[in-house]
Chains A and B, each alone.
Chain A
Amino acid sequence: MTDPAIPTARHTPLRAVHESLGASFTDFGGWMMPVRYTSDLAEHHAVRTAAGLFDISHMAEFLVEGSGADAFLDYALAGRLSTMPVWKAKYSLLLAPTGGVIDDVIVYRLGADRFLVIANAGNRHAVAAALEERVEEFRTLPEEPPTVGSDGSFAFIPGAPRRVEVTDASDAYSLIAVQGPVARAVLDATAAIGELGRPLDELTYYAAVDASFDGEPLLIARTGYTGEDGYELLIRNERALDLWEALTAAGAPLGLVPAGLAARDTLRLEAGMPLYGHELSLDIVPAQAGLGRVVAADKEHFVGKAGLTSVIAAGAPVLVGLVSDGKRAGRAGYAVYRADPSTGTDERVGEITSGALSPTLGHPIAMALVSPSAATEGTDLTIDVRGTRIPATVTALPFYRRKK
């Protein structure tokens, strides 16, 4: 084994607290991030049964502002963001002109003319470059006829100046996630969190609210990447440590533990959530990854629209879930085969994108890109696990769904 630590990798403002907690670090998207503090299995189970505290400050934040911000995002992203009410959040995709995925993002509407886009750390520069380029393109677009928003208002008024400004705020902000069934209780117990724009009771899934932490502006979003209920908290770097410590102090008696990227990865895999670079890439169009619903294909102009149809028609592989018995998991890159006893053939039908022994379910799970002909639920396939064929069955995603 070798240590792939890259000297140029950055640390988040919470480095000292991770080190004091005995974290091991790994390079992720150019950042040295805690991979685990004690046991990744214990951290995983804590999130499923109580709560985990994650430093996700490596993620990139972009502010999109101006009277044309909503129309701009409709152009720059795959989804329709202009009709989204203020304080709502939406999962979306930044597509290449080919229809491939540059990144998957969450967009929060902070005001009529103000949006926050949270992108993956490793894609920060690709996202920044694409948004910058699209601002220029957007300014030269012919103006569209007015469209009526879902609330009956005009979402876009022709003739209005289409001003839009994109700011990369990644270096100024930290992001801390509290995930798990007691996440709400942890926030309630954190006395320094207050001045909420509206009560947490009214904060639905994929919504956000402005608040303060000990006098500092705080954004509380009910979003996450674990398959559990939970929150993601955005605060300026200068106060990130104070917030982490306040959450820890309030949450520890409730079962809150710090959790690293290892647990985060097995949690999101169980929840069937894609990870950029595994399930998503420039070579994958949204429908292949089961994300066709994210694309508002009826929009007049948006980047990627032209590339979306042809690739699917060509019979490109699609994302499926695979489950196996035993303990031996297929991993990213392992080949997937389908045997046909009637012809005696054993055909390679695809490749695993993410796989692990599921800590919650106790058996191996994987996501794989396979030929559409092998993607029907219940299809029996095999995984080549370093020379040994492990039987696997195509199953619906997600593997794990929390009890409401």
Chain B
Amino acid sequence: MTDLNALSYTAEHEWISIDGPIGEEGTVATVGITDFAAEKLGDVVFVELPGVDSGVSAGQVVGEIESTKSVGELYAPLTGDVVAANQAVVDDPSLVNSDPYGEGWLVKIRVDTSAPAELLDRAAYVALTGGDE
């Protein structure tokens, strides 16, 4: 099981797992949407992800997550270069619902060391969603 307390979050209901300090060269962030977002969307039926090697800036819309009922936009939570996009999710969008913190990950971004990052910790994110874990 993913340790949800070890992840960072955004107000756009994304989770970020960072493999090193954000200010350090080569640090890669894995990004997905939270179980809260997945549940709000309903069954995800279409995912569009940014191309590998594309540059993204924090706050920019870089993809889409569609359910039968609605459309969610994927925002880049950090500035950097996309180093991987999860083809398994493109092929089987239901992974976003069944395993949002695991196999349902969306993109990996090599983080630009010069850009600031404004991320939430678990407590702040849970408070944002009105939850009381």
Contact among B46, B67, B69, B97 with A328 in the assembled complex (CB-CB below 8 Å): B46
Contact between chains at A40 and B39 (CB < 8 Å):
no
Contact between chains at A262 and B64 (CB < 8 Å):
no
Judge if A266 is at the interface, Cβ distance under 8 Å.
yes
- The number of chain B residues with a CB under 8 A from chain A is 21
Contact between chains at A36 and B130 (CB < 8 Å):
no
Q: How large is the interface on A (under 10, 10 to 19, 20 to 34, 35 or more residues)?
A: 20 to 34
Chain B, Cβ-Cβ closest to A42: B43
Complex Cα distance, B42 from A3, in Å, reads 14
Mask, A1-24, CB within 8 Å of B = 1, is: 101000000000000000000001
Judge if A356 is at the interface, Cβ distance under 8 Å.
yes
Complex Cα distance, B103 from A122, in Å, reads 40
Chain B, Cβ-Cβ closest to A328: B46
Mask, A237-249, CB within 8 Å of B = 1, is: 0000000000000
Judge if B117 is at the interface, Cβ distance under 8 Å.
no
Complex Cα distance, B130 from A331, in Å, reads 29
Contact between chains at A1 and B72 (CB < 8 Å):
yes
Complex Cα distance, B46 from A274, in Å, reads 25
Residues of B within 8 A of A35 (CB): 42, 69
Residues of A within 8 A of B39 (CB): 24
| Min CB–CB distance B96 → chain A (angstroms) | 12
Residues of B within 8 A of A359 (CB): 45, 68
Judge if B37 is at the interface, Cβ distance under 8 Å.
yes
Residues of A within 8 A of B68 (CB): 40-41, 44, 262, 266, 356-357, 359
Mask, B52-67, CB within 8 Å of A = 1, is: 0000000000001011
Contact between chains at A386 and B64 (CB < 8 Å):
yes
| Min CB–CB distance B33 → chain A (angstroms) | 10
Complex Cα distance, B45 from A44, in Å, reads 14
Chain B, Cβ-Cβ closest to A359: B68
B residues contacting A by CB (< 8 A) are 12-13, 37, 39-40, 42-43, 45-46, 48, 64, 66-72, 94, 97, 130
Residues of B within 8 A of A44 (CB): 68
Complex Cα distance, B67 from A331, in Å, reads 11
Q: How many A-B residue pairs have CB under 8 A?
A: 50
Contact between chains at B43 and A40 (CB < 8 Å):
yes
Q: Provided the pairs A328-B66, A329-B66, A357-B68 are in contact, do residues A1 and B37 lie with their beta carbons within 8 angstroms? A: yes
Residues of A within 8 A of B40 (CB): 1, 24
Mask, A35-61, CB within 8 Å of B = 1, is: 110011110100000000000000000
Chain A, Cβ-Cβ closest to B42: A40
Q: For the complex of A and B, list the 10 residue pairs with the smallest distance between their C-beta atoms, beginning with the closest.
A: A327-B46, A41-B43, A357-B45, A40-B42, A262-B69, A40-B43, A356-B68, A39-B43, A266-B68, A262-B42
Judge if A265 is at the interface, Cβ distance under 8 Å.
yes
Complex Cα distance, B12 from A356, in Å, reads 23
CB interface residues, A 315-338, toward B, < 8 Å: 327-329, 331
CB interface residues, A 162-178, toward B, < 8 Å: none
Complex Cα distance, B41 from A262, in Å, reads 10
* New contact pairs (17) apart from A1-B37, A329-B66, CB-CB < 8 Å: A1-B12, A1-B13, A3-B130, A36-B42, A39-B97, A40-B42, A40-B67, A41-B45, A42-B43, A262-B68, A327-B46, A328-B46, A357-B45, A357-B46, A357-B66, A359-B45, A386-B64
Complex Cα distance, B39 from A235, in Å, reads 32
Chain A, Cβ-Cβ closest to B64: A386
Residues of A within 8 A of B94 (CB): 41
Contact between chains at A356 and B64 (CB < 8 Å):
no
Complex Cα distance, B97 from A262, in Å, reads 16
